[in-house]
Chain A
């Protein structure tokens, strides 16, 4: 069997033990680590995202797939060459001030990271200044915000307003998601709305790689 395909399947199955053993096999055989990550692990996670979108997978399945992916990455990372992976873009992500529901954010982070974005995770219940600092320090091109709760929609509005005042809004693509957000809310703020973590990769690829303004 193809080792890359097996790696991909171990992520799809959420089988950490198998993913670790296959990652060790990659090292033992001296295979290209970047290829193992992108064509094996990340490809598996991409399929997991598709299954989530088709409602064949739900959050528990995504969480164990992500566990398998990260467990295998732990094995591969020390063997990765110094030349860092080329990322599509840097994304600062977080759950806005006033909300701590971070499963949606974590799922989005996993899928974006697996597709080749560099993620700076600010966590949950994040103050606007923390987002601003992370954006500036990492020269981020994208800010991804999430909130599950209605009361914290205002935090998104306030944050966008602050980014305008700080002069970083214009160069930044902002994408929002989470149960409390909607397309019309996104439009009202002039930001991209995404109603499903699995779609975030396609939407951002379109904006970042496809030149969509």
Chain B
């Protein structure tokens, strides 16, 4: 189904997302001991078929961590780290916990934990403003191209007809020489109903 958000709804959603991204980048800086910058951020209603093709030119292998909520506000959060980008993060975290070096599947554990902290940051602004509790699942970490990981995260949607609200944020740390991407996918119809309710209150 297609969704047409009003200017007021888009304004409120953008404000909530910006607030969430700002909190997430502060938390990532605290966790990694390095400054992070938001390179780009977008919020738009997109058909699933377009969401699935947005990374089709990027064939690099990424670690992807997926967190979901199936509560009053269904959402999927996907954190993407190119394979080369995780080493500086692992080293940064190991500074505060040397035992981390002996952890089996260390990269997956680091990616999962960072995704959890960032995902919680980005949904907090929405949960608090919309007066909801959004409990995210534990992160599921896997590897693949960005398109593979997006397809897995969006499998519940019908690629032929569904539209979602998608937030795409690219972040960069000059201090750590690393990057990551955050994708937040919101059920468009539910989100529109919640935004309407918040605006009319």
- A and B are interacting partners: no
